[in-house]
Structure 1
Amino acid sequence: MKPGLLIVLMAVMLGACRSREPSFPVARLSIQGATLVDNGLIGWASSDVHELFSRTLRDSRRFELLEEGGQDGKDPRAQNAWSLTLELPFTREALKDGSAYSFAEVGVTLSMERRGEETDQRYQVVGLGEVRVERKDAETRREALREALRRALTQVTQAAAIQLTAVERPDAALVQDLKSQDDRIREFALRVLAERRHPAAAPLLIRQLGEEDPQTVRQAIGALSEMKSREAVPALIELVKDREVRFVQEVVFAIGEIGGPEAEAYLFTVAQGHDQPDVQAAAQRALDTLLASRKLSAPEARGKDRAEH
């Protein structure tokens, strides 16, 4: 086969693969936050960022902006469309150790929401754009911030596509995604499996309890609590050793939400004998809630409720 023909064939195959990737309808795209107003150096209004982000979404070929056609209310895809909200938590210049240059940094947060008949779906992804500032004049600094914003928007667009792809995938495929070499694919697959209370998520979430990042740990605690993963209780009990009171209270409430004999025994012990009164009180409240929930779920309680109605 001639080299030129081979290149054309590969390009066609690549285009076909991309065309099979799902695209996600977007009913609404909004920009929130006062960062752009507070930081005049970037020189863009919210409408400018809206246009830039819209273009980034379109260029990715993974999102369809229904509002651009003016028919989003009539389009049948609007029933299953997402609402996207972009925020810029910060725009700044930062110095790095050992560098004579400053770096323009822009952080972005993208929230995605879709209304459902029973429950709403909400997800969030973040991006950080970083560009070295070559000179200190205002024009160079402004362009560095703008380029950092472009990079951050590209990051969240890619992350959003991966997250929403995970939402549409079946459990078996997501379990396989947990073995992916891409950290983002693993993270978002785990997030969706935890939301679905799939047992494959629990061991990985328990492992995350040992991470150094506090946000990662808190997210794992919340997910395990929502899953009511009783196998996580021993790890959560171990987690509170030598920790500050407020964090211990958070974990105590999570253990109460999970429930089970081991959780109940732990809460009883803490409520009776912990050396911090605030922790004792938290454990007692969690225990009371757990016991009340257990009584309401008992067969005789359900039978009595049906008889009264």
Structure 2
Amino acid sequence: MSEMDELARRFETDRPHLRAVAQRMLGSAAEADDAVQEAWLRLSRSDTSEVSNLTGWLTTVVSRVCLDMLRSRAARREDSGEAPEAPAAEQTHPESEALLADAMGPALLVVLDTLTPAERLAFVLHDMFAVPFPEIAEIAGSSPAAARQLASRARRKVQGRDAEEDRARSRTVVEAFLAASRSGDFAALLALLDPEVVLRADAAAVGFGANSLLRGAAAVAETFSGRAQHAEPALLDGEAGLVWAPGGTARVAFAFIIVDGRITGIEQIADPADLGGMEVRVLGS
């Protein structure tokens, strides 16, 4: 089998995933097919001999293609003053569009169309495909903190929540999580965590001994139970979180994703550059 044949075989293996990413970002099966085809063209013209994670590389490529398409779509609307396009279920490829609408819900498709291209990128990649914020930041051309903010704003819009009320609820959940962690109340931690919660740590945090990735409420609760004695509540770019800040300097931050009162994701951030680019306001416990 030639090198190109092997590349094509690997691409076909990833095609369903790439198409799912593109459809959720674009809301259109026809446009998703175009984006996936463009990803193949770029792959066929690229030297990927040093690429260790081809699926991740292709996800990045198709996401960038989709982001460009969303920006072009938004620019056309601004120039013409036209309303947002109809939901995907009303466009071409009726069978594929119906499957997409069934998977995401017609209401979500409509709300996604009100997001900015960058918000939609961050929300879809992080909340639907669990792509870490540093990778989203590279695609969007922003910092991880900015990518986190984009996803947070998009999540509030999707769920129809008031920003200030949402922050107040999130702070209550985070403070309850901190209290349960300090006291070693495993049951309380489980009650606050979504069953499918994901804990991610950046490379710097892993260097301190953290696990790079943990999934599931039990594993995450076990990690935090009886710990976080020196963590303090904080606002991270305006969002409720925790921080370890000896001497007043943030060394490790914990950013939370909270949906319907439960923690669905925690990002452990220790990279000095990311912390330096984040607005951290320690609230005290």
Common fold by TM > 0.5: no
TM range (shorter): under 0.3
Q: Give TM-score scaled by structure 1 length.
A: 0.25
Greater RCO structure (CA 8 Å; 6+ sep): 2
Structure showing greater Rg: 1
Q: Give TM-score scaled by structure 2 length.
A: 0.27
